[in-house]
Amino acid sequence: MKRLLLAGAIDSASQRLIQQLSENPQLAVTVYTASQVDLPDTVTALTEEVLDEGGLSAAMLDQDLVVALVPTIHLAQTAQTLATAVRATGNPQLLITKTDDIDDLPLAERQARQTLMAAGVAFDLVEGLGSVGSLLGIQPTSAPVFGPDEVGPLERFAE
């Protein structure tokens, strides 16, 4: 069984994704969020702030894949917290998705990438929950295509 942690603000779209993930008997799903939401009984819920490094590190322990749901405006700041937590917990695979469609903050995305790369964190940054669902085999939407020598998050997750 693969262990999956979703960390970030949970809205109705991400709740649908969580519901679909919870129906997969091959996944143990944990949600780490400050949001007060109803989750399926099979999902472990941890209510904390995503920027709390200690709490996030504890939530990441023994996880195979961490999916961070991050608004663009907080991307650079959250990347530092994610990098610290991932390094502290033995480097689970990290998939980050922006939870909005803001394209006019390229500096935030560039800073986040630089922070994670400098920390030596294995990560993928994708656009939206549709890409996350697609990468996790949930929804048939377009997702990044990886070349023959590249390994995407699912290939690493499946190992």
Per-residue model confidence (pLDDT) at position 115: 93
Show me where the domains of the chain are located. 2-158
Each residue's pLDDT tens digit, 30-40:
999 988 888 99
List the beta strands (DSSP E) in the chain.
2-8, 27-33, 44-47, 65-70, 93-98, 123-127
Fold of 2-158: Rossmann fold (3.40.50)
Spans of the chain below 50 pLDDT: 139-146
Please choose, from the candidates 66, 108, 73, 69, the residue with its C-alpha nearest in 3D space to the C-alpha of residue 87.
66
How far apart (Å, rounded) are the C-alpha atoms in residues 103 and 107? Answer: 10
- pLDDT tens string 139-156: 443 344 445 555 555 555
In the prediction, which pLDDT does 158 show?
A: 52
pTM of model > 0.85: no
Both tokens of 17, joined, read: 């994704």
